Amino acid sequence: MRTSSSRRGRRAAIAAVAVVVTGTTLLTGCGSDDDGKGGGGGQSNEKITLRIGTFGSFGYDNKTGAKLYAEYERLHPNIKIEESNVSDGQKYWDTLKLRLAQNSGVADIQAVEVGYIAEATGTAMANKWVDLGKEGGAKVDAFLDWKVKQATTGDGKVIALGTDIGPMAICYNKDLFAKAKLPTERDAVGKLWSGDWAKFIATGEKYKAAAPAGTSFHDSASGLFNAVVSSDPVQYANTSGELDWENSPGVKNAWENAVKAAQGGLTAKLRQFDEKGTWNAAFKNSKFATVACPSWMTGIIKDQAGPANQGKWDIAAPPVAGNWGGSFLAVPKAGKHTKEAAELAAWLTAPEQHAKVFAVNGNIPSSKDTLTSSAVQEAKLPYFGDTPVGKIFSSAASGITPAAISRYDGQVKTFLTDNGILDIEQRGTDPAKAWENVKKLVDDKIDQ
């Protein structure tokens, strides 16, 4: 018995060695094959997982979104898609920058917000991305021209494909408006502040006079600041794309309006996208009556206010048409499967998919034909009752004059809202002092 078992053991060992040896040969064989093709797994049926990093609400996922991942996985049985989502766009970008610098830890596809796109196309980062104008088969002509221009580097590489744009309206809570004896019908509401942000503030004063206890007119002064800046053709940069926020009429106008709202007690003193969830909780508890509503915000309201508040929210025309936000999908060269990722990014941002995402999540597409298509024009979001969201947002989109952006826009915006407006709103800091403070912050932290 003993001898036979030991012999069996030895035979097993030999077999194991043989398996290991052949296995390794096969593996190395595959590896060199891959290298020969030049990056990516090639057209083989090898199973791969594509990771996609996003922030906020892109509306692709299989749970509440347009189920685009499931659809793509059906079309490509060898591909599995995993999304990781961060709520705070600023933190998302900070982490992404670090990972890009290290050339590791990046997802195969990374979303980029418009505030950071100039930084992504800048000299320090332009070489970190795959040229999607050449790879992945995207039809670049289908996008709005200014959207493509924003994602194009100095030497003509298109490093990112447009997802949505952010034509802006005002979302308002009909219940609270009724309690404060304001009109609730969307055309009448739009007329309250039509043409001027000062009228919006004046409506806020009216709301405050008869407001239900514990509620505010607007969610946050920094949100209002962003909305006003977004409606001005001159934002943080001058026409040649250089940072010039101190002399910008758009920033000045936005600052004055936001300060007025903060000091007049018209805001709920919240920080939008706050990670501790205070802002989200305020949606659930109907703590404020209005929020500046770029198209992508409708998805956030739906998720945060929840089914209990269905039908309470409506959308009215903004005082001045503007574009707040909108994003891109980019493929970092440091990703594992750049070829497949470029194909997926092109597919996700193709007009058909734009339309699908819009139908579910309300993100206004950045492709020309989809924007004017009847699907968008006649769209209604169930959560917002029978509001013609498509018409409201696409007409806001037609009023957009794209502003020049500099590579520091995102950071300056954060300083102005988090360290300027929020400080006035929450801590009662003198506006002049807060402005000085922002100036010092920008000097100290940006120009090195």
| Contact flag: residue 219 with another protein (CB under 8 A) | no
| Contact flag: residue 448 with another protein (CB under 8 A) | yes
Task: Determine the Cα–Cα distance for residues 190 and 169; give it in Å rounded to an integer.
Answer: 9
Sign for the pseudo-dihedral over CA of 129, 132, 134, 140: negative
At residue 269, what are phi and psi to the nearest 5 degrees?
Answer: 55, 35
Amino acid of residue 182: L
> What is the 3-state secondary structure of 83-145?
EEEECCHHHHHHHHHHHHHHCCCCCCEEEEEHHHHHHHHCCCCHHHECCCCCCCCCCHHHECH
User: If we measure between CA atoms, which residue out of 205, 318, 212, 223 comes closest to residue 270?
Assistant: 223
- CA end-to-end span of the chain: 79
- Only segment of 57-65, 200-208, 268-276, 378-386 that touches another protein (CB under 8 A): 268-276
Q: What angle do CA 50, 139, 46 make, to 5 degrees?
A: 25
| Contact flag: residue 418 with another protein (CB under 8 A) | yes
- Count the neighbouring beta carbons within 10 Å of the beta carbon of residue 92: 22
Q: What is the DSSP letter of 419?
A: I
Write the CA distances from 400 to 322, 323, 417, integer angstroms: 6, 6, 23
Closer residue to another protein (CB): 209 or 432: 432
Minimum distance, C-beta of residue 417 to another protein, in the bound complex (Å): 9
Restricting to residues 119-178, name those near another protein by CB under 8 A: 124-125, 128
| Contact flag: residue 239 with another protein (CB under 8 A) | no
Minimum distance, C-beta of residue 423 to another protein, in the bound complex (Å): 4
- Only segment of 49-57, 159-167, 203-211, 275-283 that touches another protein (CB under 8 A): 275-283
Amino acid of residue 164: D
- Only segment of 45-53, 274-282, 317-325, 367-375 that touches another protein (CB under 8 A): 274-282
Closer residue to another protein (CB): 21 or 446: 446
| Contact flag: residue 286 with another protein (CB under 8 A) | no
Task: Tell me which of 205, 274, 359, 380 binds another protein, using CB under 8 A.
Answer: 274
Question: Following CA atoms 278, 283, 284, 287 in sequence, which dihedral angle do they give, to the nearest 10 degrees?
Answer: 90
Task: Tell me which of 246, 275, 369, 430 binds another protein, using CB under 8 A.
Answer: 275
Task: Tell me which of 273, 283, 288, 384 binds another protein, using CB under 8 A.
Answer: 273
Closer residue to another protein (CB): 163 or 411: 411
| Contact flag: residue 436 with another protein (CB under 8 A) | no
Site string for another protein, 370-389 (x = CB under 8 A): --------------------
| Contact flag: residue 437 with another protein (CB under 8 A) | yes
Minimum distance, C-beta of residue 412 to another protein, in the bound complex (Å): 11
| Contact flag: residue 281 with another protein (CB under 8 A) | yes
Minimum distance, C-beta of residue 22 to another protein, in the bound complex (Å): 36
Q: Are 329 and 109 in contact (CB under 8 A)?
A: yes
Sign for the pseudo-dihedral over CA of 85, 385, 169, 151: positive
Task: Tell me which of 13, 18, 26, 446 binds another protein, using CB under 8 A.
Answer: 446
Read off the tokens for 203.
């409506």
Minimum distance, C-beta of residue 94 to another protein, in the bound complex (Å): 5
| Contact flag: residue 440 with another protein (CB under 8 A) | yes
Closer residue to another protein (CB): 113 or 232: 113
Task: Tell me which of 107, 326, 411, 431 binds another protein, using CB under 8 A.
Answer: 411
| Contact flag: residue 427 with another protein (CB under 8 A) | yes
- Count the neighbouring beta carbons within 10 Å of the beta carbon of residue 342: 26
Coil, strand, or helix at residue 22?
Answer: helix
Q: How many CA atoms lie within 13 A of 354 on its CB side?
A: 28
| Contact flag: residue 278 with another protein (CB under 8 A) | yes
| Contact flag: residue 395 with another protein (CB under 8 A) | no
Q: Are 397 and 371 in contact (CB under 8 A)?
A: yes
At residue 388, what are phi and psi to the nearest 5 degrees?
Answer: -75, 70
- Only segment of 24-32, 295-303, 377-385, 420-428 that touches another protein (CB under 8 A): 420-428
Site string for another protein, 78-117 (x = CB under 8 A): ----------x-xx--x--xx-xx----------------
Write the CA distances from 161 to 111, 136, 200, 296, integer angstroms: 9, 11, 35, 17
| Contact flag: residue 215 with another protein (CB under 8 A) | no
Q: Residue numbers of the site for another protein (CB under 8 A)? A: 88, 90-91, 94, 97-98, 100-101, 124-125, 128, 271, 273-276, 278, 281, 411, 418-419, 422-423, 426-427, 429, 437, 440-441, 444-446, 448
